[in-house]
Chain A
Amino acid sequence: MSSIGTGYDLSVTTFSPDGRVFQIEYAAKAVDNSGTVIGIKCKDGIVLGVEKLIASKMMLPGSNRRIHSVHRHSGMAVAGLAADGRQIVARTKSEATNYDSVYGEPIPVKELAERVASYVHLCTLYWWLRPFGCGVILGGYDRDGPQLYMVEPSGVSYRYFGAAIGKGRQAAKTEIEKLKLTDMTCRQGVIEVAKIIYGVHDEAKDKDFELEMSWVCDESNRQHQKVPDGLLEEAKAAAKAALEEMDAD
């Protein structure tokens, strides 16, 4: 479904005759080619999961983290160009701590999402800056409950029950839609996320991957943290078992 810009795609400050900004669309393609990232909002919190494609067997497991805590109560999973993602995470952390110092309370997730979106959008306004080549899923638990936001390279940010970006997003979204999220606890959610990520991983096209997951929920005391090792192993086992069941059919 690619279209050629031919002349209207050289700069992010140029509109095409049909009203598109091609540079932003190309930035989104960088996100589409990265490993799948999903987030779901369960009734007691948020679960984030990343299909971290391993570039080389020499890499240490657990390195190159794709999920970052941006404040005590919220975390962000990044898809797309890793270096761009690092910049966004740094800015988000800074916004969160700055808000806390001025207003004396943890930044509401809605406000944080708006600030991230503003920042990403900023880089689409000037010809001497390029758009960020990454999308982020931001999940947090504040006094209004758990919330999930996704920010795209264009700078739009929406609130979601379930979101997916990256290679396997179409398949992931279908799977997420099948889940009954309002009845699900985060404990169950972790298992489901693992199943989905294992399910959308394409064995033929890509090499190995490492599953990275995090949550913010009542069980984790409303703090954003990595999913505990025990539960993570349980999730991986359940996911592999589900895969085998599918292959057996």
Chain B
Amino acid sequence: MDFNAPHSMGTTIIGVTYNGGVVLGADSRTSTGVYVANRASDKITQLTDNVYVCRSGSAADSQVVSDYVRYFLHQHTIQLGQPATVKVAANLVRLLSYNNKNFLETGLIVGGWDKYEGGQIYGVPLGGTIVQQPFAIGGSGSSYLYGFFDQAWKGRMTKDE
């Protein structure tokens, strides 16, 4: 067993919009090779009161990116005098992802709510693209879900749905 293999998250992360906002979901397994390093990890991280991010890929990389973005958003909120928008949060995430693409390996889903556009989901995959989507899936476990979402997704669902 290779205990020195990088902690990777072997993850499934999902973000969806619905008629009242957004719902984010993630599994809780962090693996090092085949060993489960943490079976209760929290892959949904808070950036501000109204914006969260789902992390996948390298655990360290995604944590560091989240920490930087949380710091920048905090300063931005103080300067603006009002909560940051989801778009701004997602843009900061992608600037870090894109400008450091040679060093980072992390796919993120930014989701939140602001008073101007309501609930929004932005996917920021490996290369640092930013794409606003009605729903987003990510992580190595998401490949099994593309077919399911294609068939089952509909817009403006209720919270229970």
Contact = CB atoms under 8 A, between A and B. Distances in A.
Contacts of B130: 104
A103 B92 contact: yes
Interface residues on A, range: under 10
B158 interface: no
A101 to B, nearest CB: 8
A105 B88 contact: yes
Contact of B79 (A102, A104, A111): A111
B92 to A, nearest CB: 7
Contacts of B92: 102-103
Interface of B: 76, 79-81, 85, 87-88, 90-92, 95, 116, 130
A178 interface: no
A170 B107 CA distance: 59
Contacts of B79: 111
Contact of A104 (B80, B81, B91, B116): B91
A103 B91 contact: yes
B87 A111 contact: no
Given A102-B95, A103-B91, A103-B92, A108 B80 contact: yes
22 contacts: A102-B91, A102-B92, A102-B95, A103-B76, A103-B88, A103-B91, A103-B92, A104-B87, A104-B88, A104-B90, A104-B91, A104-B130, A105-B85, A105-B87, A105-B88, A105-B91, A108-B80, A110-B80, A110-B81, A111-B79, A111-B80, A143-B116
Contacts of A110: 80-81
Given A105-B87, A108-B80, A143-B116, 9 more contacts: A102-B91, A102-B92, A102-B95, A103-B92, A104-B88, A105-B88, A110-B80, A110-B81, A111-B79
Interface in A124-150: 143
Contacts of B91: 102-105
B143 to A, nearest CB: 29
Nearest to B88: A103
A108 B87 CA distance: 14
Interface in A82-123: 102-105, 108, 110-111
Contacts of A102: 91-92, 95
A110 B95 CA distance: 24
Interface of A: 102-105, 108, 110-111, 143
Nearest to B73: A103
A104 B85 CA distance: 10
* Most A Cβ at <10 Å: residue of B87, B91, B92: B91
A110 B81 CA distance: 10
Contacts of A103: 76, 88, 91-92
A102 B91 CA distance: 7
B136 to A, nearest CB: 17
The 4 A-B residue pairs with the shortest CB-CB distance in the complex, in nearest-first order: A104-B91, A103-B88, A143-B116, A104-B87
A102 to B, nearest CB: 7
Contacts of B80: 108, 110-111
Contacts of A143: 116
A167 B95 CA distance: 47
A105 B90 CA distance: 11
A104 B79 CA distance: 16
* Most B Cβ at <10 Å: residue of A102, A103, A111: A103
Contacts of B87: 104-105
Contacts of B116: 143
Nearest to B117: A143
A104 B90 CA distance: 9
Nearest to B94: A104
Contacts of A104: 87-88, 90-91, 130
A110 B130 CA distance: 27
A103 B94 CA distance: 10
A111 B92 CA distance: 18
